[in-house]
Amino acid sequence: MIRTITQPKPIEELERLLEGLDRIFIIGCGTCTTLTRTGGAPEVAAMQQTLSEKGKVVTGTTVVPVACDNLTPQILSEQGGRIDQADALLVMSCAFGVQTIASQLRRLVIPAQNTLFIGKERPDGRFDEVCTQCGTCIIGETGGICPVTACHKGLVNGPCGGTNNGKCEIDADKDCAWTMIYNRLKELDRLDAMRRYQRPRNHLGEPSPGRYRLPAAP
Amino acid sequence: MTSAFKKALDSGKFVVTAEAAPSKGTRLEKMQHHVEILKDKVDGLNVTDHQSSVMRYPSLGGALLVKEHGGEPILQMTCRDRNRLALQADLLFAYSRGIRNVLCLTGDSVMLGDHKEAKGVFDLDSSQLLAAIRTMERGKDIAGNELDGAIEMCAGAIVTPEANPIEPQLIKFEKKIEAGAEFIQTQAVYDLDNFKRFMDYARRFPVKILAGIILLTSAPMARFMNKNVAGVVVPQALIDEMAAAPKGGALRKGIEIAGRMIRRIEEEEICDGVHIMAIGKEEVVPEIMAEAGLL
Ligand code: SF4
Ligand code: SF4
More confident residue, B2 or B171: B171
- Residues of chain B positioned with their CB less than 8 A from the CB of A158: 127, 168-169, 171-172, 175
Are A3 and A126 spatial neighbours (Cβ–Cβ below 8 Å)?
no
- For the CA atoms of B254, B260, B261, B262, the dihedral, rounded to the nearest 10 degrees, stands at 110
Q: What is the pLDDT of residues B90-139, one digit of tens each?
A: 999 999 999 999 999 999 999 999 999 999 999 999 999 999 999 999 99
Which ligand is nearest to the Cα of residue A135, counting in written order?
Answer: 1
Adjacent-strand bridge partners of B16: B274
What residues of A are in contact with residue B172 (Cβ under 8 Å)?
Answer: 157-159
Count the neighbouring beta carbons within 10 Å of the beta carbon of residue B91.
24
For A9-38, write each residue's pLDDT tens digit: 999 999 999 999 999 999 999 999 999 999
Q: How confident is the model at residue A105 (pLDDT cuts 50, 70, 90)?
A: confident
> Mean pLDDT score of chain A, rounded to an integer?
94
Distance (Å) of CA B55 to CA B25, B49, B58, B279: 9, 9, 8, 16
Which of B85, B109, B125 would you mutate first to test chain A, the one with the most A CBs within 10 A?
B125
Q: Does residue A133 have its Cβ closer than 6 Å to ligand 1? A: yes
A38-58 tens-digit pLDDT:
999 999 999 999 999 999 999
Helices (H), ranges, chain B: 4-11, 29-38, 59-68, 84-96, 126-137, 167-179, 192-202, 219-228, 236-243, 250-267, 285-291
Give yes or no for residue A2 CB within 6 A of ligand 1. no
pTM: 0.95
| Predicted local confidence at residue A106, as pLDDT | 86
Q: Per residue in B41-68, pLDDT tens? A: 999 999 999 999 999 999 999 999 999 9
- Give B87's contacts in chain A (Cβ within 8 Å): none
* Contact present, B79 and B105 (Cβ < 8 Å): yes
- Region label for B5, one of left (φ > 0), alpha (ψ between -120 and 50) or beta (otherwise): alpha
The pLDDT of B231-251, averaged and rounded, is 96
Segment A193-212 mean pLDDT = 93
Q: What is the mean pLDDT of residues A184-205?
A: 96
- Ligand 2: does its nearest atom lie under 6 Å from the Cβ of A156? no
| Burial bucket for residue B76 (CB in 10 Å: 0-12, 13-18, 19+) | buried
- Give the 3-state secondary structure of residue B207: coil
Q: Is the Cβ–Cβ distance between B108 and B53 less than 8 Å?
A: yes
The helix (H) or strand (E) run that includes residue B156 is strand B154-159
Nearest residue to B8 via CA among B60, B91, B72, B103: B72
- Say which of B112, B131, B175 has its CB closest to residue A169: B112
Interchain CB contact of A190 with B (< 8 Å) = no
